[in-house]
Amino acid sequence: MVQEEKKVTEETIEQELSLNDDRRVKVLSPGALVAKRFFRNRLAVVGLTMLVVMFVFSFIGGLISPYGQDEQFYTYTHMDKEYVGVVKNNDLRYTINDGQEFGSILQAQLMLAIGKNAESFEYKDVTYEVEKEGEDLYLISSNGTVLAIAAKDIVNAADGAEASALTFAVKHEALKAYANGETSFTADGQDYTMDADGNILSGSDEIGYVSRFVVQAKENGVVISRDFKEKLADAIDSDTKEFIYTDADGEEYTYTITYKPDSKTWSVLQSKETYVYDRYAGPSKAHWLGTDTNGMDMLTRLMYGGRVSLVIGFIVVFISAFLGILLGGIAGYFGKWVDNLIMRIVDVFYCIPSTPLIIILGAAMDAMQLDPQIRMLYLMLVLGFLGWPSIARLVRGQILSLREQEFMTAAEACGIRASKRIFRHLVPNVIPQLIVTCTMSLGGTIITEATLSFLGLGVKFPFASWGNIINDVNNAYVMTNYWFIWIPAGICLLITVLGFNFVGDGLRDAFDPKMKR
């Protein structure tokens, strides 16, 4: 009985120590061990999750978005613009006879004479006669030669009539007839008639009219019709603040009249429905994050902007890593004068002020008006070329310690060529440290690109990046009133850079052999 129990116990112990037992200690590969350490780090997992979300948002979101990154949206809106300025003439205006002069000094002397009710005045031993021909109408002559007319009323050319038809004589006789209430006058040997509204008629053709309102268009090429001027004058006389007018093309506009007491003028604003960019539209069902200053969907711009920022970050880090591994590996393996030469080049690159250099290059590319896509390529090359020295130093330091170990002596004894010894045996042993360094520098590269784009030196329109999206907030009004323009881009930058930093910390701890298993 005792022997049977002993036999059962031995079989049980043997079974417990069997290799087929699921409770045996598992031996993990180095890669699996690194992965296990990484996923035990909660912050690293959080960072990886953040990066996955941002990659899905940027690369997949752009594909499923119904809009393009440079697609612009329009809307109808009522826009007010200054159309004309109006002055009601309460001062004397001068019409000077052909070939004569009547400058500002003489005009001042005339005003003194009128104030004194004098019939003449002298200036530089020349006598000037002043004849009052009607209410607010004066004729100035000297030695029998008519020099000018001074009147508060103004003779304007009628719509479609030639201004050349209104000679000095016609204007003179028209003003005199209007001031005295006459219905006809003769000038240049031709008879003219005038109606109660001040219209000047040559036969049945209207060639001009008399008015005290001076109406001046605010835009070049705009012709103000007589009918509009009359409507405007009636509105001002009746103190009407707003009126509606239909022009010759059948377009109906609303006009708002504002009096400016400082300049004693009226400003007339024209309001019309205009098809414009749907700028700074608030979040809605059609545009979840609203639109930007160019009428583009902000959510779509964020997706494509993330794609550009991430791609630039990875390409810049790849260029830096390639140059750093190549030059650092050569310097660390060969040593001596090769190491000295490459390290002095690294020192020179460390002395280069990268930020001013990039600003100068950005300004030069602006002056050259480079295509935005070519500009983006140059930006990646410049950032990558300026970032390799730190990686070269890291690789050199690691290889200096690795090249003296036994496995390198064995590789040399086997006759393996130098390039293979460097890139097949030494560099792979530096990869863990490189992964950590590159991961950590990705966040810094994205921040650098965003800063340059914010300053207008990086990615240019129509391409989007998180930096140039934030660049749209170029004044305090937009920043305080349109939060949906810059806060989402800032959040995307924060999540991405923080995610890369968390993952970099996690990889550093996972590759550290001193960490607890």
Is the domain of 120 the same as that of 170?
Answer: yes
Give the residue from 465, 471, 443, 456 showing the smallest Cα distance to 308.
Answer: 465
Is the domain of 203 the same as that of 298?
Answer: no
As a whole number, mean pLDDT of residues 348-372 equals 84
Is 22 part of a structural domain of the chain? no
Number of domains in the chain: 2
Is the domain of 58 the same as that of 94?
Answer: no
Structure confidence at residue 329 (pLDDT): 82
Is the domain of 312 the same as that of 348?
Answer: yes
For a pLDDT cut of 70, what percent of the chain falls above it?
90
* 491 CB-near residues (< 8 Å, 6+ apart): none
Is the domain of 342 the same as that of 465?
Answer: yes
Query: For residue 47, how many C-alpha atoms fall within 13 Å in the half-sphere facing its CB?
Result: 21
Is the domain of 214 the same as that of 340?
Answer: no
350: containing domain? 30-73+287-511
As a whole number, mean pLDDT of residues 480-485 equals 85
* 380 CB-near residues (< 8 Å, 6+ apart): 312, 315, 316, 319
What proportions of the chain, in percent to the nearest 5, are helix, strand and coil? 50, 20, 25
The string of pLDDT tens digits covering residues 238-276 is 888 888 888 877 788 888 888 888 877 888 888 877 778
Is 24 part of a structural domain of the chain? no
pLDDT band at 46 (very low <50, low <70, confident <90, very high): very high
Structure confidence at residue 517 (pLDDT): 46
CATH number (domain holding residue 477): 1.10.3720.10
Residue 31 reports pLDDT greater than 90: no
Is 340 part of a structural domain of the chain? yes
pLDDT band at 501 (very low <50, low <70, confident <90, very high): confident
Q: pLDDT higher for 413 or 440?
A: 440
* 206 CB-near residues (< 8 Å, 6+ apart): 158, 161, 199, 200
Between 20-34, 54-68, 273-287, 326-340, the lowest mean confidence (pLDDT) is in: 20-34
Q: Could you tell me if 313 and 445 are in contact, meaning their C-beta atoms sit under 8 angstroms apart?
A: yes
> If you average pLDDT over every residue of the chain, what do you get?
82
The string of pLDDT tens digits covering residues 170-204 is 888 888 888 888 888 888 888 888 887 778 888 87
Between 2-16, 47-61, 83-97, the lowest mean confidence (pLDDT) is in: 2-16
Is the domain of 221 the same as that of 114?
Answer: yes
Peptide bond into 462 cis (omega under 30): yes
Query: Residue 236 and residue 230: Cα distance in Å, rounded?
Result: 10
Is the domain of 321 the same as that of 208?
Answer: no
